[in-house]
């Protein structure tokens, strides 16, 4: 009975809020200020069969995920190098502090001048994700158990084995939690950059058009699309990392002994 | 392999844990360190491994069996840069430095997310196949425990994995810090037989709290 209740609770809560949303739309009765879920759904259904819909999704997906993946690779490489060479860490500290504190809008304007609107989303997603991955890679490597490192030194464990047995298990939880935040941020900032830069056939351009034509239904439909793609991308990346964590031998809490 | 320790002293603040400690050992010799808690057993083992620096004294390792009769000495004195370099482990990771240590630490120091077989393979390198590691571990542990992450093992099982890892790794000198902690009498006897078999002909220094262990190991007793 309890399980039955748990299964239905979440969908019912979501249905409740959709109902409130529809109710608000009926009460306001103005499709420019607020459209209800039914109108937003209809707008989405109208968009799905069009070629431009899929082209825009494909364009933004490629650019934003490319920016994320490049930042992921660079962040890890830089984090690893900064862990190995403390001087490099000191050199990078002011640059990364700057990257974290500069508003995305300032970057977008600068990026429009430097790289143009075509690769804007790649650049912005890269700049937003890089500091997160770098900081967490460094923190993960620094959290490696010093007693295990001492043990590895005594047994003369080669560096690659140290990476697999000691550093990776310490690093992966940090990487997983930073990716959860970074994936969402890459989509938010990437699309925001597209809205400012308006590259051809992109989700940002579609959102901009919704603003120009005061087409709130389309705006809601595209927002829904962004949420779905961002969530799917997040699931895929996190599943890959979780797979690596399992392969690396991470232990589930349930596997731990009750008493030692 | 020969070890000569002369007038070794070590203090932590005002607390002196080692005072003029002397020791001579050679390959094939098993010694047991005994003393109350805080008497410096762990500190001595850590200094020998190069993980801790003594305040004064000297440690000389000699291996006349190797070509050129390799000798490595550490002389400890405050502010001596050569000593500090040696104690920080510089040069110790090179394959030709003497001696090659293996150890059971005060804590198990296992890679908890990995199985006992993987923990042994990590330290043993190419000397051992996975099947051999499994067969050796099965002499001390139940077969079903060998494929489980170390984190899921009991304290006594983890201890046996740590002992197995130390004995199956390549080494000249075996240093064990209270290896029998958490083992019942029967298991302890099995483990002691295994230690004697696997460390035969090499130097072993084992700290313990029980005189019975000294007798079972047929070891020379050193009191701290």
What burial class does residue A197 get, using C-beta atoms within 10 Å of its C-beta: 0-12 exposed, 13-18 middle, 19+ buried?
buried
For A59-250, the fitting CATH number among 3.40.50.300, 3.30.390.10, 1.10.3720.10, 1.25.40.10 is 1.10.3720.10
Q: What is the pLDDT of residue A146?
A: 94
Contact A148 B101 (CB under 8 A): no
What is the structure's pLDDT at A4? 65
Q: State what percent of residues in chain B have pLDDT above 70.
A: 88
Nearest CA distance, A180 vs chain B (angstrom): 23
Residues of A in contact with B101 (CB under 8 A): 154
In the predicted model, is pLDDT for residue B81 greater than 60?
no
Instruction: List chain B residues with CB under 8 Å of A168.
Output: none
Check whether A252 has a pLDDT greater than 70. no
pLDDT in tens, A24-39: 999 998 888 898 899 9
Q: How far does the CA of residue A244 sit from the closest CA of chain B (Å)? A: 13
**Do B152 and A257 count as a contact with CB atoms less than 8 A apart?**
yes
Is A165 a residue whose pLDDT tops 50?
A: yes
Q: Mutating which of A151, A256, A259 best tests the B interface, going by the most B Cβ atoms within 10 A?
A: A151
Please give the biggest Cα pair distance in chain B: 52
Q: Looking at residue A249, what is its pLDDT?
A: 52
Residues A166-200: tens digit of each pLDDT: 999 999 999 999 998 999 999 999 999 999 988 88
Question: pLDDT tier at B201 (50, 70, 90 boundaries)?
Answer: confident
B114 neighbourhood in chain A, CB within 8 Å: 165, 249
Residue of A151, A161, A249 lying closest to B109 (CB–CB):
A151
- Average pLDDT of span B194-200: 92
Q: For chain A, what are the domain ranges?
A: 59-250
Judge contact between B156 and B132, C-beta under 8 A: no
Tell me the C-alpha distance between B3 and B26, whole Å.
Answer: 6
- The Cα of B210 is separated from the nearest Cα of chain A by a number of Å equal to 23
Pick A169's closest partner by Cβ from B101, B109, B113.
B113
Mean pLDDT, rounded, for B110-122: 94
Q: Is A112 on the interface with B (CB under 8 A)?
A: no
Q: What is the mean pLDDT of residues B79-97?
A: 46
Q: Which residues of A touch B123 (CB under 8 A)?
A: 155, 157
Q: Is the ipTM of this complex over 0.90?
A: no
In this complex, which of A147, A169, A260 lies closest to B154 when CB atoms are compared?
A: A260
Average the pLDDT over each of A148-152, B15-19, B76-80 and give the range with the smallest value.
B76-80
Cα–Cα separations (whole angstroms), residue A226 to A50, A108, A187: 17, 19, 8
B122 interfacial to chain A (CB closer than 8 Å): yes
CA–CA gap between residue B214 and residue B9 (Å, rounded): 25
A154 close to B (CB below 8 A):
yes
Contact across the interface for B122 and A161, Cβ inside 8 Å: yes
What does the pLDDT read at residue B66?
A: 66
Residue B67, pLDDT score? 58
| Window from A10-24, A64-78, A128-142, B88-102 with minimum mean pLDDT | B88-102
Instruction: For A99-138, write each residue's pLDDT tens digit.
Output: 888 888 888 888 888 888 888 899 999 999 999 999 999 9
Task: Give the model's pLDDT for residue B97.
Answer: 61
Residues from chain A contacting residue B153 (CB–CB below 8 Å):
257
Taking 50 as the threshold, does the pLDDT of residue A153 lie above it?
yes
Residues of chain B in contact with residue A147, where contact means CB-CB under 8 angstroms, are 105, 107, 109
Q: What is the pLDDT of residues B23-75, one digit of tens each?
A: 999 888 999 999 888 889 999 999 999 899 999 999 988 887 765 556 677 77
Q: Does A104 touch chain B (CB under 8 A)?
A: no
Q: How far A157 CA lies from chain B's nearest CA (Å)? A: 6
Q: How far is B219 from chain A (nearest CA, A)?
A: 24
Which of B100, B101, B109 faces A148 most closely, judged by CB atoms?
Answer: B109
Per CB-CB distance under 8 Å, the chain A contacts of B155 are: 260
- Of all residues in chain A, the percent with pLDDT exceeding 70 is 92
| A19 has pLDDT over 80 | yes
């Amino acid at each position: 009975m309890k399980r039955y209740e748990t299964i239905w609770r979440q969908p019912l809560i979501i249905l409740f809020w959709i109902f409130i949303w529809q109710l608000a739309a009926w009460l306001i009765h103005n499709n420019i200020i607020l459209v209800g879920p039914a109108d937003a759904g209809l707008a989405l259904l109208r968009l799905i069969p069009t070629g431009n819909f899929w082209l825009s999704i494909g364009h933004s997906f490629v650019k934003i995920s490319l920016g994320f993946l490049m930042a992921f690779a660079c962040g890890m490489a830089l984090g690893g190098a900064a862990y190995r060479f403390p001087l490099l860490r000191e050199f990078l500290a002011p640059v990364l502090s700057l990257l974290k504190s500069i508003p995305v809008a300032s970057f977008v304007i600068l990026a429009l001048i430097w790289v143009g609107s075509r690769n804007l989303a790649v650049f912005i997603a890269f700049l937003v994700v890089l500091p997160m991955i770098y900081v967490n890679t460094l923190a993960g490597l620094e959290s490696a158990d010093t007693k295990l490192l001492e043990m590895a030194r005594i047994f003369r464990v080669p560096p690659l084995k140290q990476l697999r047995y000691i550093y990776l298990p310490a690093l992966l939880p940090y990487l997983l939690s930073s990716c959860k935040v970074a994936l969402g941020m890459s989509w938010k900032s990437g699309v925001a950059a597209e809205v400012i830069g308006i590259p051809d056939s992109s989700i940002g351009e579609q959102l901009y058009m919704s603003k120009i034509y005061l087409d709130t239904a389309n705006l809601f439909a595209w927002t829904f699309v962004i949420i779905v793609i961002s969530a799917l991308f997040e699931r895929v990346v996190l599943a890959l990392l979780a797979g690596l964590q399992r392969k690396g031998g991470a232990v589930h809490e349930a596997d731990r002994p009750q008493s030692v | 392999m020969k070890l000569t320790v002369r007038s070794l002293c070590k203090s932590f603040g005002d607390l002196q844990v080692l005072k003029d400690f002397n020791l001579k050992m050679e390959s094939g010799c098993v010694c047991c360190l005994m003393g109350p808690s805080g008497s410096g057993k762990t500190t001595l083992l850590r200094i020998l491994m190069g993980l801790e620096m003594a305040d004064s004294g000297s440690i000389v390792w000699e291996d006349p069996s190797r070509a050129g009769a390799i000798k490595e000495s550490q002389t400890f004195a405050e502010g001596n840069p050569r000593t500090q370099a040696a104690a920080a482990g510089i040069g110790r990771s090179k394959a030709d430095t003497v001696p090659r240590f293996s150890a059971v630490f005060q804590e198990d120091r296992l890679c908890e997310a990995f199985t006992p077989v993987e923990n042994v393979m990590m330290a043993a390198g190419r000397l051992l196949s996975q099947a051999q590691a499994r067969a050796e571990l099965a002499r001390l542990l139940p077969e079903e425990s060998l494929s489980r992450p170390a984190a899921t093992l009991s304290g006594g099982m983890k201890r046996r994995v740590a002992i197995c890892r130390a004995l199956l790794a390549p080494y000249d000198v075996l240093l064990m810090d209270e290896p029998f902690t958490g083992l019942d009498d029967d298991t302890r006897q099995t483990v002691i037989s295994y230690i004697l078999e696997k460390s035969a002909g090499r130097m072993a220094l084992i700290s313990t709290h029980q005189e019975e262990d000294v007798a079972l190991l047929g070891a020379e007793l050193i009191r701290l």
